[in-house]
Amino acid sequence: MKTAARILIVDLNNFARYPTLAIGYLVAPLRAAGFQVQVLSPLAHGAPAMVHEQQETWLEPLKRRLYFSTHPLMQRLHEPLRAAYARYHFRAHAPTLTLLKECLGQDAPDIILLSAYLEHLPTVTWIGQQARKHGIPVLLGGPAFTRPETLQFWKQLPGISALFAGEADFVIAGLVRTLLQDGDIRAWPGLSTAATTSRSAAAPLQALEQLPLPDFSDFPWEHYPHRIIPVMTGRGCSWNVCTFCSDVTTANGRSFRSRPLEKVLEELRQQAQRYQSRDFIFLDLKLNSDLAIWHGLIDHMQQTVAGARWIATVHVDGKGDNGLDAGTLQAARASGLTRISFGLETGSQALLRRMGKGTRVARNAQFIRDAHAAGLSVRCSMMLGYPGETLTDLLATRDFLREHQQQLDRIRPARFKAIPGTRFARLHQHRPERFAGFELLGWDYRLGRAEYRNHPAGDPACRRVRREILAVIHAINRQPLRDEARQFDGLM
């Protein structure tokens, strides 16, 4: 009797302190198809997990001052410093590489699957080279492989047998069989090799109700500080307008699609039993994209998993309450919602409009007050350095943060990134004069970003107010979380 093909999935995601959902969605259909699957997780072999937004010490504001500095000299150093930081934090974990080398030499799999972010380039390169030495095919995929220019570079890495651009949940078993049997890759949209013409990413998946139950049994649960189960109720974002957002350009972020509520609730019930946990993180870009799902979770969470606790990200819409009125937030808290996150971005109405956020400063303020009053831990992301940001915009952001300092538990600030495929990239291409003072130096499609100079940001008055904003952020982030939110401390 022929032995089932052996598949090694190398999980390169060291950030999270919970299982990688994308890997779980690959393991389940592969095992259902009869393959032998092994997941190699660096976390299980001592790799430290990167955490986010824990209570800050004196070191964070110092690093942030460097990262957000807009002094003309520092602007020239931003990209080299960012690259050095990425190389350090995304560096290959030596014990894992040693173990992988042993696996390839002693008990080699029939094929290696890699799901990677673009920052994982050094590790992917190393794995490809090692696999080629042993004649083992490597199938590469990941959320960022949607741009033709990016595909063209990555599929030519030595040792990479094929690259799949798209969501592989329904087709992963067929892709593996095709590579193992030297089949015709043209039968699979989104699949290409170095020898084939670059192909567009496969169309977004439909019929999400047919998704399998993610299989997290290979993950090192004993190494996680808490047993937190990742879930997604849908893919994409129903707003899909923000100019800077790259999430909606990724493989599973293109177009909004939702799963039936009953399927989501059944997943929560089964996963809670399987992994003995009542804590969930919803990874939807905006959980209130589908209000039926949002209200359904609130109404049925405790009946589904008694004692459940959960966290989520939402979009605050200026056209209505969008499921985020005071009463609904109170009901969400009663249902076990512990922390709620949203994209604040700025305290300037003019800049919100330029970003395409679709909300108003007053609506954001009301949401923060209501969520805090409901007993929720409120987290937000925000952006500094958006092209066209003025001193007036910065002052408005500073004043907004000061006003709500006691109602915000964590702020994750980010410097503006110019990313190919976003609305910003398209707007800049067609009307660069719209972004006065923004000098695009060139696109790096290999890593999916651009190098640029933002000349107005270096104005001394702007730099002073930006330092004041960073000081308020640190004052907020150094505060301890509410007791009920500590279970999820350090998570995105």
For residue 28, give the 3-state DSSP assignment.
helix
26 CB-side CA count, 13 A:
29
pLDDT band for position 1 (cuts 50, 70, 90): very low
Indicate if 332 and 393 belong to the same structural domain: yes
Tally Cβ neighbours within 10 Å of residue 94.
12
Q: From CA 84, how far away is CA 93, in angstroms rounded? A: 16
Which residues span the domain enclosing 447? 59-86+225-488
Within-domain flag for 396: yes
Mean pLDDT of 466-491: 82
pLDDT of res. 447: 87
pLDDT band for position 485 (cuts 50, 70, 90): low
Within-domain flag for 412: yes
Q: β-strand 438-444 against 449-454: which pairing, if any?
A: antiparallel
6-11 sheet: strands from edge to edge? 36-40, 6-11, 111-115, 138-141, 162-164, 191-192
43-98 pLDDT, tens digit per residue, is 766 666 655 556 677 788 778 877 777 777 776 776 677 667 666 666 666 777 77
Tokens of 437: 């003072």
pLDDT of res. 481: 77
Q: From CA 350, how far away is CA 371, in angstroms rounded? A: 25
Q: From CA 456, how far away is CA 72, in angstroms rounded? A: 10
pLDDT band for position 372 (cuts 50, 70, 90): very high
Indicate if 234 and 135 belong to the same structural domain: no
Within-domain flag for 53: no
Within-domain flag for 109: yes
pLDDT of res. 42: 72
Count up the domains in the chain and report the number. 2
Indicate if 186 and 232 belong to the same structural domain: no
Indicate if 253 and 233 belong to the same structural domain: yes
β-bridge partners, 115: 11, 141
The CATH number linked to 136 is 3.40.50.280
Indicate if 65 and 117 belong to the same structural domain: no
Within-domain flag for 211: no
Asked whether residue 380 carries a pLDDT value surpassing 80, the answer given is yes
Indicate if 317 and 404 belong to the same structural domain: yes
Indicate if 316 and 443 belong to the same structural domain: yes
Indicate if 20 and 169 belong to the same structural domain: yes
Indicate if 114 and 151 belong to the same structural domain: yes
Indicate if 290 and 170 belong to the same structural domain: no
The CATH number linked to 253 is 3.80.30.20
Q: From CA 154, how far away is CA 128, in angstroms rounded? A: 11
31 CB-side CA count, 13 A:
17
Indicate if 237 and 330 belong to the same structural domain: yes
Per the CB < 8 A criterion, the answer to whether 479 and 417 are in contact is: no
What's the length of the chain?
492
Within-domain flag for 197: no
Indicate if 245 and 344 belong to the same structural domain: yes
For residue 260, give the 3-state DSSP assignment.
coil
pLDDT band for position 486 (cuts 50, 70, 90): low
